[in-house]
Amino acid sequence: MELTSQLQWHHSLEDPSGFRQRKPRSSGRTMVIDKGLGIRAFEDMILTSGAHIDIIKLGFGTAALYPEHILRNKIEIARANQIQIMPGGTFLEIAIHRGAVDAFMRTVIELGFNGIEVSDGTIELDRKLRSQLIRDSIENGLTVVTEYGKKCWGSKIEIQDLIETIHVDLSCGAEMVTVEGRESGAGVGMYDESGNCQEDEILKVVSQVSDPSGIMWETPQKSQQVFFLKTLGPNTNLGNIAPEEVIALEALRRGLRSDTFDLSSN
């Protein structure tokens, strides 16, 4: 199933912001979290909003629970539409904990995944092994997205450690470093218990990273998406987007909603 281009609205109406890139994009990427879509729902998502999706993550360890033909079909559809598809980072953490990394990698490659997430949201992962996992994945032809931050409620981001991790992960070849936000977007990472963004800390991180396009912010809540797009610009990378929210997020990016209407005047 490959998408075909159709009649387009005038460019000033389709993208009032004037900033949006077409795929493959180097910035402004959107990562969708799939927590168990059926194949028809997955196909509908791609048909409707595939042009606006850059990465699909099969959340946590859900990749292990699909019938093989369904999993392969999802991977094939994503790849046919220029979408990076990867299992959740927690699944790799389980493989590390169980001593089954080689078996995990073999299956990921054999199934046709074109991406992988390296994270330590649940386990402790030393720097040497993290770097090796990034390099090994790249050598196996996978695009690597890493993740920083713990998943437990109330966990905080250590800013200097995050900045150092971003620099080292990218130097090892990772395409992006994701800042943890979970699927809730509350009480974790850069968000307080109500989901409010910690603006000073976010701006401090951005100010100390040479290329912000190497960072992806997990923003499951609309208020968080609005904050990042208005604060850092419409081409900020945003992740953990629900499948049904892709079009709504794209409208925010382009200034096609009242929340970001002022982006169209930039």
Q: For the residues 127-156, what does the mean pLDDT come to?
A: 88
Q: Which residue in this structure is represented by tokens 């800042």?
A: 179
Over 70: is that where the pLDDT of 153 sits? no
Residue 19 lies in a domain: no
User: Tokens at residue 188, please?
Assistant: 């974790």
Pick left, alpha or beta for residue 259 (phi over 0 → left; psi -120 to 50 → alpha; otherwise beta).
alpha
Range of the domain at 102: 25-265
Which pLDDT score is estimated for 262?
84
Whether the model pTM is above 0.85: yes
Which pLDDT score is estimated for 266?
45
Which pLDDT score is estimated for 1?
59
Distance CA 118, CA 104 (A): 12
Q: Residue 227 sits in a domain of what CATH number?
A: 3.20.20.70
Over 50: is that where the pLDDT of 22 sits? yes
Band of residue 51 on the pLDDT scale cut at 50, 70, 90: very high
Residue 59 lies in a domain: yes
Distance CA 220, CA 96 (A): 27
Over 60: is that where the pLDDT of 2 sits? no
Residue 20 lies in a domain: no
Residue 44 lies in a domain: yes
Host H or E run for residue 125: none
Residue 242 lies in a domain: yes
Which pLDDT score is estimated for 150?
67
Over 80: is that where the pLDDT of 177 sits? yes
Residue 85 lies in a domain: yes
Which pLDDT score is estimated for 210?
87
> Number of folded domains in the chain?
1
Taking each helix axis as running N to C, give the angle between helix 222-232 and helix 199-207, from 0 to 180 degrees, rounded to the nearest 10: 40
